[in-house]
Amino acid sequence: MSFAERLQRAWYHGHPVLRLLSPIEAIYRRVVTIRRKRFLDGTAPSYRAPVPVIVVGNITVGGTGKTPLILWLIEHCRSRGLNVGVISRGYGAKPPSFPWRVQPEQTAEQAGDEPLLIVQRTGVSLVIDPDRARAARHLLGSEQLDLILSDDGLQHYALARDLELVLIDGARGLGNRRCLPAGPLREPVERLQAVDAVLLNGATTDTEQGYAFALQPSKLIELATSKDWPLDHFPAGQTMHAVAGIGNPERFFTTLEALHWRPIPHPFADHARYSLEQLTFSPSLPLVMTEKDAVKCRAFAPSGWCYLQVQARPSAAFVAWFDVQLDRLLSNHS
């Protein structure tokens, strides 16, 4: 188990050594709190786009389902006749320069795995740049947009936002509710009181803590041919190798088990890079991976490797609330 894995286990299951990190946590909390206050009171400048900006983020380290929600938001806004653009940091991407427009034929090394996934799935206009404000300006300079979605970026206050949507893993929650490095929080838990909506990934009903949000498996797709396979392609009880290089790999393995398969888990670090040799396991069995991993493996995937495509399913109450917010934001910017 890596140091990062041991630290995450401590955040969510407890460990006495975390007490030693309290002084560093106190400094971290003070720094992030002061930084946010400087942007809120205008001491630090921020860029306000001429169209609504919706940030989809989290306050915890690790995956919470942001990318599937971004995909849902793109399609939902398009169904209302809106032209949507997306900006992203492009974690791990190494393009020739920033800002960088992501195209579907690019590689994950160049564009980043999550931005490339979003563009390949939807064809949306997407720009990556660690400077979110610069990314937004670049996107607006080349596209006539009705609104911008920011994939992550909750803590990037140099870009003003009109709506903040925060995702929380419904199973893991906020861990010990402490800030880095003593806990998984990027900002103090009180930050949730200021966001516009919280979605609980894995929850089945809306609660006072947030709206229900689920990831629903839809189909399997073979990497080598891009052919769709139904979920019953593999029979119940099928043993398979399961590859997940995401923030919370256990969620993927649990999903496969819920489909009545028997995954042999192969967790990797979030945003991991792969080779054919790394993913050649024994015994020889079917291999299923996440869509985020698939964008990095298509170039060398042999016949039979596939990924599980999932669809975001927010609650009806969230959809109704979000449509009201859209009407308000678009009216304010008209």
* CA–CA dist 150, 73 (Å, integer): 11
Average pLDDT per block of 10 residues along the chain, 334 residues long: 82 94 97 96 95 97 91 98 97 95 96 97 98 97 97 95 96 95 97 98 95 97 97 97 94 96 96 95 97 96 97 98 98 87
CB 110 within 8 A of CB 120: no
Domain with 291, as residue range(s), is 216-312
Contacts of 168 (CB under 8 A, 6+ apart): 58, 59, 60, 64, 174, 198, 199, 200, 201, 209, 210
User: pTM for this structure?
Assistant: 0.95
Give the integer Cα–Cα distance in Å for 150 and 160: 11
Q: Which residues of 277-289 are buried (b: 16+ CB within 10 A; e: fewer)?
A: eebeeeeebbbbb
Same domain, 236 and 206: no
Instruction: Report how far apart, in Å, the C-alpha atoms of 39 and of each of 36, 48, 93, 166, 189 are.
Output: 5, 12, 27, 19, 19
Q: What is the CATH number of the domain that holds 83?
A: 3.40.50
Q: Please report the pLDDT score of residue 178 as a whole number.
A: 97
Q: What are phi and psi of 84, to 5 degrees?
A: -110, 140
DSSP E strand boundaries for 155-236: 163-169, 197-201, 211-222, 228-229
| Total structural domains within the chain | 2
- Helical ranges in 113-225 per DSSP H: 113-122, 132-142
Residue 164 shares a structural domain with residue 272 = no
Please tell me whether residues 307 and 161 are part of one structural domain.
no
- Note whether 202 and 231 are same-domain residues: no
What is the predicted pLDDT for the residue at 62? 83
Judge contact between 329 and 163, C-beta under 8 A. Answer: yes
* Token couple for 198: 């919280």
Domain check: are 80 and 202 in the same one?
A: yes
Render pLDDT for 101-160 as a digit per residue (tens, 0 to 9): 999 999 999 999 999 999 999 999 999 999 999 999 999 999 999 999 999 999 999 999
**16 C-beta neighbours (distance < 10 Å), count:** 7
Same domain, 283 and 320: no
Please tell me whether residues 112 and 196 are part of one structural domain.
yes
Based on the number of CB atoms within 10 Å of its own CB, is 97 exposed (0-12), middle (13-18) or buried (19 or more)? exposed
41 plus 92 within the same structural domain: yes
**Same-domain status, 71 and 148:** yes
Same-domain status, 181 and 49? yes
Same domain? For 303 and 327 the reply is: no
Q: What is the torsional sign of CA 135, 199, 114, 79?
A: negative
Give pLDDT, residue 1: 65
Using DSSP, state whether 225 is helix, strand or coil: coil
Query: How far is it, in rounded angstroms, from Cα 288 to Cα 209?
Result: 33
166 and 230 part of one domain: no
226 near 220, Cβ under 8 Å? no
| Nearest Cα residue to 88 out of 48, 166, 148, 141 | 148
Give the type of residue at 105. Answer: E
Interatomic CA distance for residues 296 and 107, integer angstroms: 7
